[in-house]
Amino acid sequence: MEPFDYLAGYPRELVEAARRGLSDGSLARGLLARYPGRHGVRTNAALYGLAQELKQRHLRRAPPLAKVLFDERLTARESALGLNSRLARVQGGRLATKREIRIAGLFRDLAPEFLRLVLVHELAHLKEFDHGPAFYRLCRAMEPDYDQIEFDLRLWLWLRESPAGAGFPGNPSAAPGVP
């Protein structure tokens, strides 16, 4: 199966540099050095608390959150960052009507910066339906480093699914019992 193109839309030089880093191992080393932490958000209640904290700080007037939860059935592609725009629109619609945020279960095991980033992304959808300029302005207001962390998260997800990323934290083949 062709690896999913997590880097679609990024400038060619960046993608080429990432490919070189993938083959010589510097990409994995760099990401691990940059994002060494693991967060302690294990439960849906803790996840709700974190989302609520971000919302109180930045989106106080947005409608209240009904539910925030980890969803083990969601893959990174389906949930993160509108990687699939069609699904993202469906997800945006669901958010608009149910004010519910679902985060792929794999984010339990990623760095705190990445979990926060997807929460910021989904919270921004409380106000902005589409991935337009207003949406990204809102994301950057909540997380000034939004663009860099989003790019690094895409690299992380790309690396973890690539054969060169076997043994990389979160790599599906490194986890026993996960197909």
The interface region with Zn ion, picked from 1-9, 35-43, 76-84, 108-116 by CB under 5 A, is 76-84
Write the CB contacts of 83 (distance below 8 Å, at least 6 apart in sequence): 4, 6, 76, 77, 154
- Identify which of residues 48 and 129 has a Cβ nearer to Zn ion in the complex: 129
Cβ proximity of 142 and 120 under 8 Å = yes
Closest distance of CB 88 from Zn ion, Å = 4
Nearer to Zn ion, 129 or 164 (CB): 129
Distance of alpha carbon 179 from alpha carbon 35, whole angstroms: 26
For Zn ion, the binding residue among 21, 82, 165, 170 (CB under 5 A) is 82
If one counts every other C-beta atom within 10 angstroms of the C-beta of residue 143, the result is 21
Beta-carbon-side half-sphere exposure of residue 46 (alpha carbons within 13 Å): 9
Closer to Zn ion by CB, 107 or 168: give it: 107
Query: Which CB, 22 or 95, lies closer to Zn ion?
Result: 95
Nearer to Zn ion by C-beta: 82 or 169?
A: 82
Shortest distance, CB of residue 79 to Zn ion, whole angstroms? 9
CB of 92 to Zn ion, least distance (A): 6
The total of other beta-carbon atoms located within 10 Å of residue 11's CB is 9
Q: Is 34 helix (H, G, I), strand (E, B) or coil?
A: helix
Q: How far apart are CA 141 and CA 145, in angstroms?
A: 9
To Zn ion, the closest distance from the beta carbon of 103 in angstroms equals 12
Binding of residue 88 to Zn ion (CB under 5 A): yes
Q: What is the closest distance, in whole angstroms, from the C-beta atom of residue 121 to Zn ion in the complex?
A: 6
Q: Which positions lie near Zn ion, rule CB under 5 A?
A: 82, 88
